[in-house]
């Protein structure tokens, strides 16, 4: 079988090909206006026949549509009196003490929000039944408003979805329809409504993109990575577009856990994925953590996704001087076109990549394994314009750009570690993405960490993670009530319904039921609380005591109150693909090359990753491979494990 993992980033589209135990990697510049063009170009350059090819893809199409506000014209259908639900939200200010926040445009314009009957009470009884007149009115409004998608979000629809189904069936064919009882059958009408609207808003865009990709790869089996780190067949993906909002980053975390395990490294990792446009930071403790409290473009996304923090700091982040004469870096990015000035594609603004090149930490002749030559003079000219404004030397400004970018990333790493009561020194700092290796030593020093890991294939690790991730489903269902009055049999029967649904969906994709891993869990809280803690299901008595311990560990106290069950959750996953990274011995070093690096008195050696043996090399050094560069700072040493991971240690 020939497998290929593809990650579409803001600057590069990455490919990892696995065939007969051999791994081959490739990169092409992304084509944001039509992402499938870069994918088809890369597959062509790899000389692959699409027929019989199995593709696992991390897509940014849904993410970009949300971030750029470029969804389709969407009609929002709510119960009478609730058309303004999404605009009102939770009435929580982004900045607590800002008493005059700027007005924010509502997710759906009011003229596209319509009301209907079909209202349930909290106990499942009908407050206002759905009538034929309601259905006729809906059809008339759809004809008048001409939406491309419809989001239906009725109160308590997770108890009885018949009204939402009737509304959906009354709509004309060709419309993209999202029902809240299908997208997110959980309590919390606002969060459920946002998820349903996002799903409808970007669903047609994702569907059209996957149609174009499928047409360009006839005969290929295409799967797409979900935000939860599980692969799903492309034909089912468009119906659940909101589950793709962290598609690419989820692959990176799967890849980090995979390569660490392949090298025999304990999988307690503090990771940062630095690409051309942004940096994603996360914790991996055995495997990536999931959350249902993520946010995209300021909107809450209560769907399961990998727990990470994203900032606008990447290799393509643009540096500029503000009106007060201060140096700023990001979040605006040069992207893939024109890209950093040193790419020679017409970019004029200085970026973090240009700064690293000016400092000598990038080899202009060895970038991307020598396939792309960097223009040093263009980088110096771009940084030089800033230096003139600041009345400083070019190298001083370049160092300032890198230090500011480092501080942005260090702050993000503290958010997901220190601010959660975790000591970063208990983890291994793991860098990947095309730009990560250039900053790993500085970030480790900022966090007081002595150990770091630059994985094999770090520059395309998200694409590798696509291949390492299993097929799977994460299903949820609200079931409100005191847990202590329920029996083990009742809870297990409800969980089994979700398990059977997950197994059936996987079977439709040809996934065998043999070896499926099932992880049932419960969302619990004390009665009267709003937030929940998720605990693995064992038995009623055991999970109640487990909740008390978890609450004390998380919040510092436990209460003498009843424990309330809020949601049932089930994760059903197939076994991970049987991939093995080939072991490799160190090759003979190439002819010695050196670079002049700012801040280093002597020329710094340029080393190929493959030439580093088990014996440690002492920094400073520039370490290159086909898809990334690592800056081994003074005071650090590096070794290489059996699969090619770089193991860094502070001296």
3-class secondary structure, 524 = strand
Q: Determine the pLDDT at residue 589.
A: 53
The DSSP H or E segment spanning 397 is helix 394-415
Over 60: is that where the pLDDT of 586 sits? no
Strand partners, 119: 128
Say yes or no: 79 and 192 in one domain.
yes
Instruction: Place 558 in a pLDDT band, splitting at 50, 70 and 90.
Output: very high
The predicted-structure confidence for 333-355, as pLDDT tens digits, reads as follows 887 678 899 999 888 999 999 99
State in Å, rounded, how far the first CA of the chain is from the last one: 44
Q: How far apart are CA 229 and CA 571, in angstroms?
A: 11
Handedness of CA 415, 418, 423, 425 (dihedral sign): positive
Q: What proportion of the chain, given as a percentage, has pLDDT over 70?
A: 98
Instruction: Provide the token pair at 207.
Output: 């569907």
Asked whether the predicted pLDDT for residue 391 surpasses 70, the reply is: yes
The proportion of the chain whose per-residue pLDDT surpasses 90, expressed as a percent, equals: 62
DSSP H/E element including 389: helix 376-390
Peptide bond into 53 cis (omega under 30): no
Report whether pLDDT(591) > 70: no
* Three-class HEC string of 133-155: HHHHHHHHHHHHHCCCEEEEECC
* Residue 82 pLDDT class (50, 70, 90 cuts): very high
Match 């005969």 to its residue by tokens: 219
Tokens of 134: 């309601």
User: 167 and 81 in one domain?
Assistant: yes
Residue at a domain's end among 506, 539, 573: 573
98 shares a domain with 196? yes
Model confidence at 587: pLDDT above 60: no
Highest mean pLDDT pick, 7-16, 34-43, 368-377: 34-43
Of the candidates 433, 461, 473, the residue with the CA atom closest to the CA atom of residue 258? 461
Whether 57 is in a domain gets the answer yes
Q: Which residues contact 480 (CB under 8 A, 6 or more apart)?
A: 187, 564, 565, 566
The confidence band for 128, taking pLDDT boundaries of 50, 70 and 90, is very high
* 105 plus 119 within the same structural domain: yes
Q: Within 13 A of 119's CA, how many CA atoms are on the CB side?
A: 12
CA 611 to chain centre: 33
CA distance 283 to 270: 5
The range of the structural domain enclosing residue 598 comes to 593-650
Bin 89: left if φ > 0, else alpha if -120 < ψ < 50, else beta.
left
Instruction: Give the mean pLDDT of 205-222.
Output: 93
Residue 46 located in a structural domain: yes
pLDDT of 21 over the 90 cut? no
Tallying the residues shown for the chain, one arrives at 651
Distance CA 620, CA 383 (A): 24
| Structural domain includes residue 224 | yes
Domain edge (last residue) among 512, 541, 573: 573
pLDDT band at residue 590 using 50, 70 and 90 as cut-offs: low
**pLDDT tier at 239 (50, 70, 90 boundaries)?**
confident
**pLDDT by residue (tens digit) across 423-450?**
999 999 999 988 899 999 999 999 999 9
pLDDT average, residue stretch 543-561: 94
pLDDT at 616 over 80: no
Q: Are residues 199 and 211 in the same domain?
A: no
Residue 475 CA to chain centroid, in angstroms?
19
Surface-to-core class of residue 254, CB atoms within 10 Å of its CB (0-12 exposed, 13-18 middle, 19+ buried)? buried
CA–CA gap between residue 27 and residue 14 (Å, rounded): 5
* pLDDT tens per residue across span 136-171: 999 999 999 999 999 999 999 999 999 999 999 999
With cut-offs at 50, 70 and 90, classify the pLDDT of residue 246: confident
Mean pLDDT confidence for 296-303: 88
Q: How far apart are CA 460 and CA 13, in angstroms?
A: 9
Give whichever of 198-207, 307-316, 503-512 has the largest mean pLDDT: 198-207
pLDDT for res 550:
94
Instruction: State the pLDDT at residue 488.
Output: 96
| Cα-to-chain-centroid distance, residue 606 | 33
pLDDT tens figures, 48-66? 999 889 999 988 888 888 8
CATH number at residue 22: 3.30.420.40
Number of domains in the chain: 4
Average pLDDT rounded to a whole number, residues 481-509: 94
Instruction: Specify whether 500 is located in the same domain as 555.
Output: yes
229 with 193, same domain: the answer is no
Q: What is the pLDDT of residue 157?
A: 95
For residue 110, being part of any structural domain is answered with yes
């Amino acid at each position: 079988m020939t497998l290929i993992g593809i990650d579409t980033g803001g600057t590069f589209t990455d490919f990892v090909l696995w065939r007969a135990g051999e791994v081959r990697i490739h990169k092409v510049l992304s084509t944001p206006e039509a992402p499938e063009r870069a994918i088809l170009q890369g597959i062509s350059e790899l000389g692959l026949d699409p027929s019989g090819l199995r593709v696992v893809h991390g897509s940014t199409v849904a993410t970009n549509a949300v971030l750029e506000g470029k969804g389709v014209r969407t009609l929002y259908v709510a119960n009478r009196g609730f058309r303004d639900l999404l605009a009102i939200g939770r009435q929580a200010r982004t900045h607590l003490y800002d008493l005059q926040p700027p007005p924010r445009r509502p997710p759906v314009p009011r003229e596209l929000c319509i009301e209907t009957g079909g209202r349930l009470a909290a106990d499942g009884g009908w407050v206002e039944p759905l009538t034929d007149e309601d259905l006729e009115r809906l059809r008339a409004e759809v004809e008048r408003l001409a939406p491309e998608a419809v989001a239906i979000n009725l109160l308590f629809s997770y108890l009885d979805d018949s009204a939402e189904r009737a509304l959906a069936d009354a709509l004309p064919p060709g419309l993209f329809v999202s029902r809240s009882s299908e997208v997110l059958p959980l309590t919390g009408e606002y969060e459920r409504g946002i998820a349903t609207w996002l799903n409808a808003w970007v669903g047609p865009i994702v569907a059209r993109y996957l149609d174009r990709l499928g047409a360009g790869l006839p005969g290929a089996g295409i799967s797409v990575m979900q935000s939860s780190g599980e692969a799903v067949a492309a034909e089912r993906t468009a119906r659940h577009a909101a589950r793709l909002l962290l598609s690419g980053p989820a692959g990176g975390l799967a890849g980090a856990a995979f390569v660490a395990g392949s090298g025999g490294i304990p999988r307690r990792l503090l990771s940062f994925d630095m690409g051309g446009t942004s940096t994603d930071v996360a914790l991996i403790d055995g495997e990536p953590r999931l959350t249902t409290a993520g946010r995209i473009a300021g909107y809450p996304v209560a769907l399961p996704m990998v727990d990470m923090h994203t900032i606008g700091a990447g290799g393509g982040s643009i540096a500029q001087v503000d009106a007060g004469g201060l140096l700023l870096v990001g979040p605006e990015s040069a992207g893939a076109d024109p890209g950093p000035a040193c790419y020679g594609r017409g970019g004029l603004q200085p970026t973090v990549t240009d700064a690293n090149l000016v400092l000598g930490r990038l080899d202009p002749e060895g970038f991307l394994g020598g396939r792309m030559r960097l223009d040093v003079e263009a980088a110096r000219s771009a940084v030089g314009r800033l230096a003139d404004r600041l009345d400083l030397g070019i190298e001083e400004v370049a160092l300032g750009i890198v230090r500011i970018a480092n501080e942005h990333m260090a702050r993000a790493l503290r958010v997901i570690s220190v601010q959660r009561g975790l000591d970063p020194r208990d983890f291994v700092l793991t860098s990947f993405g095309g730009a990560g290796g250039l900053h790993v030593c500085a970030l480790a020093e900022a966090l007081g960490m002595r150990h770091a890991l630059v994985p094999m294939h770090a520059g395309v690790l998200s694409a590798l993670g696509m291949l390492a991730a299993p097929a799977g489903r994460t299903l949820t269902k609200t079931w409100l009530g005191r847990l202590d009055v329920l029996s083990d049999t009742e809870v297990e029967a409800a969980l089994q319904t979700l398990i059977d649904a997950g197994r059936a969906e996987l079977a439709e994709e040809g996934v065998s039921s043999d070896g499926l891993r099932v992880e049932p869990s419960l969302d619990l809280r004390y009665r009267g609380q709003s937030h929940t803690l998720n605990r693995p299901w064992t038995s009623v008595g055991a999970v109640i005591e487990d909740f008390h311990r978890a609450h004390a560990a998380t919040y510092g106290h436990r209460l003498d109150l009843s424990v309330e069950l809020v949601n049932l959750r089930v994760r059903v996953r197939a076994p991970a693909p049987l991939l093995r990274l080939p072991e490799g011995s160190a090759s003979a070093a190439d002819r010695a090359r050196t670079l002049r690096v700012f801040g280093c008195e002597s020329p710094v050696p340029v080393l190929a990753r493959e030439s580093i043996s088990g014996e440690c090399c002492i920094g400073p050094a520039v370490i290159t491979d086909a898809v990334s560069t690592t800056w081994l700072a003074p005071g650090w040493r590096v070794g290489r494990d059996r699969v090619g991971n770089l193991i860094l240690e502070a001296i």
